[in-house]
Amino acid sequence: MSAARPEIPAPGVALSRRDFLQASVAVGGGLLLEFSLPAAAFAAAPADEAVLNAYVRIAPSGLVTIVSKNPEIGQGIKTMLPMLIAEELDADWASVRTEQALSDPALYGRQFAGGSRATPLHWEPLRRVGAAARQMLIGAAAADWQVPASECDTTPGAVRHRRSGRSLGYGELAGRAATRTPPDPATVPLKDPRDFRIIGRSQRGVDSPLVVTGQPLFGIDVEVPGLRHAVFVKSPTFGGRVREANVAQLRTLPGVTDAFVVEGGDSLEGLSAGVAIVATSHWAALKARRALHVSWQGGAPAAQDDAQFAAEARRLATARPTLAIAAEGDVAAALAGAARVVEATYSYPFVAHATLEPQNCTARVTAERAEIWAPTQNPDPGRKLVARTLGIPESDIVIHLMRCGGGFGRRLNNDYMVEAAWISKVVGAPVKLLWTREDDLQHDFYRPAGFHHFAAGLDRAGRLVAFRDHFVSFGADGKFAPSAGLGPTEFPARFVPNLELGATLLPLAVPTGPLRAPGSNALAFVFQSFLDEIAVAAGKDPLAFRLELLGPSKVYPGAPSGAAPDFDSGRMSAVLASVAERAGFGRRQLPPRTGLGLAFYFSHLGYFAEAVEASVDAAGAVSVGKVWVVGDVGSTIINPTGAENQVQGAVLDGLSVALLQRISIEAGRVKESNFHDYPLLRIDRAPPVDVHFLVTEHPPTGLGEPALPPVIPALCNAIYAATGRRLRSLPVDATSLRGA
């Protein structure tokens, strides 16, 4: 977030009209503007439904339709955002249906799914949307009854006059309410949370019945008249270009309507070079692909290789970092005078997103406009990319937001969108582009690998007095590659008197990007595992050591640039103590070869601590018995069922990363090709996950990401407790645990 962007006031903080307009334009779409443009929001609304604003329309029957502005990627946002509006509208949730918005930045502002930002950005603005619509309904009823609006209030789905007992349903009032001048949303009263009827109560996902019955919701399900099916073959070496291909021969194959070379550009985030094959069915396109003979030129050099990266990281281990990140005190002197020095090297591999729905997009490009059906997390940058690549105005591009079969950050990039649009433009027909699983794994934007060379100094009382990390990562010109960075507030920064965080960057031609809890999903493993090592070296209980390090409750300011938020050590200590209590840490008798590990992490404004019980058999195979999670995400859990699902999913994702997942880079290309060599955690290995939230007096924050990072080090610390062997690289290598 740039410094110039307006801040969103915390719940309970008064908003001026100007502040509210700035905030809503920045993150929720110009809400004041939306009241004056209802027709733009519901151009296709049924004629008998009254439009109150860009989010709400009401039918004569009382049925309320609420628009969900952001993409749904499985995080429950299409349920949660409408709940905020419905609560303040005082609608009957049983009479509410939700509808996915089009991508329309002029109407809704930024529409994206990422960073666990939906709750903090929309908690108050969308409640005010509902409250303003409720005031319009009250005003219409008061005018009908010729009574002051102050004598009226609402019950779910109806306005009542308290003195006379009269009432009118929303369906009866909506038409007249829609003609009234909207109130200033910044001034409408909001409910006391004690009066919530919808927020804080578990609501089933609005799409769940459709998902479990296989109804067409996802990008992969789109069908339009005259649709053709496409595959797009890219160089196995990143950035490679087509030297020659037998496209003329492919055009003669059954069902194939076209095949051609795409020259592409230099950016892997845009239209890459490759071969497009278009057919009357996806099967015909796949069969033609098997007959493709193509030679490639250029691309990532052979030095882009895991073995080369690891060798260079080892060579740099004792060198001085070239990039300073954080410095406190005198680390060299503190290490020299320490009673004990602990050193260790940790590493982790590249990781793919492996969304269960491969990347896909349907596009219909004509001379006049482009219409796109995309499972994207970030539609407006996709619109800009298509406009720039195809040379058409952004205003002539319509994007339908399709439900995503998983996102995890992969669909923040829109390479598949511009590919579909380009192919449609060339063939002059609507095209559905569907990547194969091999395409998906081998042309991802990967979670970056990384190497950490740690040193820590302990005094005679076992207190941590010095901490150093030389992080060998990727980037150029002093800038980290996407999601390959390390911030100056990474714990234990600010909690150790002498600390040095520095980095050296290796050149990288492999595309990288955010993966669920970007950066944190890797950094939590190395920092929280090494802290466990330090606790053991200090001869202290791992829980007691962490609580001692966190110290008394205090709020530590974030990075001055605003890149990192404030950190409340008291909130973290509370979740850590709570999860230890729930898991019976230090009190429970465990079977042989079974251990209990702890870790905590602050990510995306959420405070999470987790405990893992794990067992290791004689062959080194790891099984996870149970995971306990305690989180603090503020004062309100909007949809408890959705929140629990998000936390459990994050934990299982983290275990999958820790136990199974590695992308191997060999000579500038990805070795893995499908789930046989890039497995996901299966249901028979998924443990029960106990989820608990501490409710605190802080603004509510998001849940899509912050529960993932701590489970990885908690698992590794449990394995150490079970075997006495420390894991310093991922994924878990059973051979290193044999006979432990």
pLDDT in tens, 30-52: 233 344 334 444 545 788 899 99
- 368 vs 311: which has the higher pLDDT: 311
Q: 439 in a domain, yes or no? A: no
> Mean pLDDT across the stretch 221-225?
98
Same domain, 389 and 337: no
> Mean pLDDT across the stretch 471-483?
98
Cis before residue 731, ω within 30 degrees of 0? yes
Q: 355 in a domain, yes or no? A: no
Name residues whose C-beta falls within 8 Å of residue 123's C-beta, 6 or more positions apart in sequence.
11, 84, 636, 699, 700
Q: What is the pLDDT of residue 116?
A: 97
Strand ranges of the sheet holding 167-169, from the earlier edge strand across to the other edge: 152-155, 158-161, 167-169
Does 58 have pLDDT greater than 50?
A: yes
Same domain, 400 and 480: no
Does 28 have pLDDT greater than 70?
A: no
Q: Are the C-beta atoms of 726 and 720 separated by less than 8 Å? A: yes
Same domain, 196 and 274: no
The string of pLDDT tens digits covering residues 678-714 is 999 999 999 999 999 999 999 999 999 999 999 999 9
Same domain, 332 and 428: no
- CA triple 514-515-517, angle to 5 deg: 95
Q: What is the pLDDT of residue 47?
A: 80
Same domain, 601 and 672: yes
Hey, how many other C-beta atoms are within 10 angstroms of the C-beta on 726? 17
Same domain, 18 and 97: yes
Q: What is the pLDDT of residue 406?
A: 97
Three-state SS at 58? strand
> Mean pLDDT across the stretch 337-358?
98
Q: 202 in a domain, yes or no? A: yes
Same domain, 38 and 184: yes
Share of the chain above pLDDT 70, in %: 93
pLDDT band at residue 430, thresholds of 50, 70 and 90? very high
The string of pLDDT tens digits covering residues 447-457 is 999 999 999 99
Q: What is the pLDDT of residue 740?
A: 86
Q: Given CA atoms 371, 376, 377, 380 in this order, what sign does their dihedral have?
A: negative
Q: 374 in a domain, yes or no? A: yes
Same domain, 263 and 282: yes
Tokens of 21: 């307009």
Does 164 have pLDDT greater than 90?
A: yes
Q: What is the pLDDT of residue 561?
A: 62
Q: What is the CATH number of the domain that holds 231?
A: 3.30.365.10
Q: Are the C-beta atoms of 635 and 120 separated by less than 8 Å? A: no
E strand or H helix at 345, and its extent?
strand 340-348
Q: Which of 530, 669, 596, 563 is nearest to 238 (CA)?
A: 669
Does 174 have pLDDT greater than 90?
A: yes
Give the end of a domain, one of 433, 454, 479.
433
Q: What is the pLDDT of residue 46?
A: 80
Q: Are the C-beta atoms of 134 and 154 separated by less than 8 Å? A: yes
Same domain, 595 and 455: yes
Q: Average pLDDT over the chain, rounded to whole?
A: 93
Same domain, 97 and 233: no
Q: 384 in a domain, yes or no? A: yes
Does 16 have pLDDT greater than 60?
A: no
Tokens of 234: 């890219």
The string of pLDDT tens digits covering residues 277-298 is 999 999 999 999 999 999 999 9
Q: 125 in a domain, yes or no? A: yes
Three-state SS at 643? helix
Same domain, 573 and 459: yes
Give the end of a domain, one of 213, 230, 246.
213
Does 23 have pLDDT greater than 70?
A: no
Tokens of 490: 């990474």
Q: What is the pLDDT of residue 44?
A: 59
- 44 vs 70: which has the higher pLDDT: 70
Tokens of 372: 């796109």
Which structural domain range is residue 657 located in? 317-350+446-555+564-737
Does 433 have pLDDT greater than 60?
A: yes
Same domain, 406 and 344: no
Q: 440 in a domain, yes or no? A: no
Give the end of a domain, one of 170, 194, 213.
213
Using alpha carbons only, how large is the chain's radius of gyration in Å?
A: 27
Helices marked H in 337-429 — which ranges?
379-390, 415-427
- 489 vs 17: which has the higher pLDDT: 489
Domains in the chain, number: 3
Q: 305 in a domain, yes or no? A: no
Share of the chain above pLDDT 90, in %: 92
